[in-house]
Amino acid sequence: DAKTTQPNSMESNEEEPVHLPCNHSTISGTDYIHWYRQLPSQGPEYVIHGLTSNVNNRMASLAIAEDRKSSTLILHRATLRDAAVYYCILRGDSGGGADGLTFGKGTHLIIQP
Amino acid sequence: DTGVSQDPRHKITKRGQNVTFRCDPISEHNRLYWYRQTLGQGPEFLTYFQNEAQLEKSRLLSDRFSAERPKGSFSTLEIQRTEQGDSAMYLCASSPTGWGGNTIYFGEGSWLTVV
């Protein structure tokens, strides 16, 4: 079962910031928070990941709550190309089992022009 | 391009036929994963390899499915006696190690349609 909870869909306007929330109340101390997105008919694409501190890269920012039970992916200025399904995933460091990624249904982000 | 590549991208087959998909991971990535994705759902884990060793198989991987990574480089996923329920996108992904802080890189997927 997925260990994260995300809204099914969100809508935003082009060139405005977008905040995509994710709840992961059962996160363990060694779980990394990963975000991937998937455009139609393509494989998932890495966006960003973090452990405890907020992270920034050229695609997005990741804000992690102090208790790590929730996080927010921030797209600073959405474009039409950002319309995709966004997955928030916990990746453990146990070294065993299916330590790949366990996907939920993600958030379908709609961008209005 | 040095990303994960999958072949073929699309395959239409008749029920009962066998199909094989190939995945070439990013060079020097020890971990290789196979996922399956149906319409409207997120990808579901099938199996993964650490080098040439297949370390885990999901319950989704029935006896008709077999995956190999003979030399720890490319991998194949074979489906025998295909059924209509096998119609899905099959995704391959690779990662340097199993460490939680590593990124997992996905290929573009292989679409299977069983008619």
CB pairs below 8 Å between A and B: how many? 68
- Chain A closest-CA separation from residue B81 CA (Å): 26
CA-nearest residue to B48 within chain A is A98
* B61 closest CA partner among B78, B39, B42: B78
Q: Which among A46, A87, A92 has CB closest to B42?
A: A87
Instruction: Report percent pLDDT > 70 for chain A.
Output: 91
Q: What is the pLDDT of residues A64-81, one digit of tens each?
A: 999 999 999 999 999 999
Question: Could you list the pLDDT tens digit for every one of the 115 residues in chain B?
Answer: 579 999 999 999 999 999 999 999 999 899 999 999 999 899 999 999 999 999 889 888 899 999 999 988 999 999 999 999 999 999 999 998 877 778 899 999 999 999 9
CA-nearest residue to B111 within chain A is A41
Mean confidence (pLDDT) of chain A: 91
State the Cα–Cα distance between residues B102 and B104, nearest whole angstrom: 6
